Amino acid sequence: MAEGTPAESKTRPVDTRFAVAVASGKGGVGKSTVTVNLALAMASRGLRVGLLDADIYGPNVPLMLGIDQSTALVKDGRIQPVSAHGIQVMSVGFIAPAGKALIWRGPLANKLIEQFLTEVDWGELDLFLIDLPPGTGDVPLSIIQKSALNGGIIVTTPQEASIADVRKMIDMFQTTDTRILGTVENMKFITCPHCQRKIELYPGAGGAESLGTEVLMELPFITELSQKNAEGLPFFMTNPESDISRRFSNLADAIWRELA
């Protein structure tokens, strides 16, 4: 990203009250997990939610939502999102053949994202969530500039390698005049099954508190969360009374208060 890259002045292409991007400095920190469960928590409050899986090279949202569809449908010249668990979803996973890599350079990837923003029949939404590709490259920058965002959420783990990359993501948001709603710190701790004591996974690490942004939520590491993702059974839907689901509900409430 060139230093001082300005935010483009554009009319929001999607008919939505609010648009929020979920970002991470690096992959593997749980960004898509947070996006999917946050979308479901918002939808459970009666909101009309659209979710764009903009991770061009690693679209995981269809798998996490249990969507078995490899071909995007077109009706009256408009791409149709897939409805799953009460949210409208579009992903490159509906276009690329299953198990095949999308080996595209920036211009082609950017063109696809622009189609997702302008040619998908999203309808009227209350909240449009965008699961950004990890990092600060050309594709996430293009999405941020074209989406007229109301804010961004950053997902990280407490380890220093992740925090260092998140600082770059924060700089990207600030450079493009995108409001940072806060950070979500994933894999913060585990809970002892015997004494219920919290055990820090990265003791001594500065963590999200060192970033100077509001920490919206801390998530423990639990194997069941990743297992549900792999099975296409969203955790928020299958474990609604769990502590994790309550955390996502609280996150949804906090973000909606900030937006509305």
Taking the domains of the chain in order of start, what are their residue ranges?
Answer: 16-259
Question: In this predicted structure, what is the pLDDT of residue 101?
Answer: 60
Say if residues 44 and 213 touch (Cβ distance below 8 Å): no
Mean pLDDT of 179-185: 93
Q: How many C-beta neighbours within 10 Å does residue 79 have?
A: 18
**The pLDDT of residue 252 is above 50:** yes
Average pLDDT across the chain, whole number? 86
pLDDT category of residue 16 using cuts at 50, 70 and 90: very high
**The pLDDT of residue 144 is above 60:** yes
pLDDT category of residue 103 using cuts at 50, 70 and 90: low
Question: In this predicted structure, what is the pLDDT of residue 97?
Answer: 63
CATH superfamily of 16-259: P-loop containing nucleotide triphosphate hydrolases (3.40.50.300)
Of 34, 39, 41, 31, give the one whose Cα is nearest residue 169.
31
Say if residues 258 and 252 touch (Cβ distance below 8 Å): no
Handedness of CA 250, 258, 140, 143 (dihedral sign): positive
Question: In this predicted structure, what is the pLDDT of residue 89?
Answer: 96
pLDDT category of residue 49 using cuts at 50, 70 and 90: very high
**The pLDDT of residue 191 is above 90:** no
Flag whether the pTM goes above 0.85: yes
Mean pLDDT of 198-223: 79
Which residue stretches of the chain are H helix? 31-43, 61-65, 106-118, 138-146, 160-175, 223-231, 235-238, 243-259
pLDDT category of residue 1 using cuts at 50, 70 and 90: very low
Question: In this predicted structure, what is the pLDDT of residue 237?
Answer: 93
Q: Which of 45-54, 58-67, 90-99 has the lowest mean pLDDT?
A: 90-99
Residues 6+ apart with CB under 8 A from 1: 136, 137, 141, 172, 175
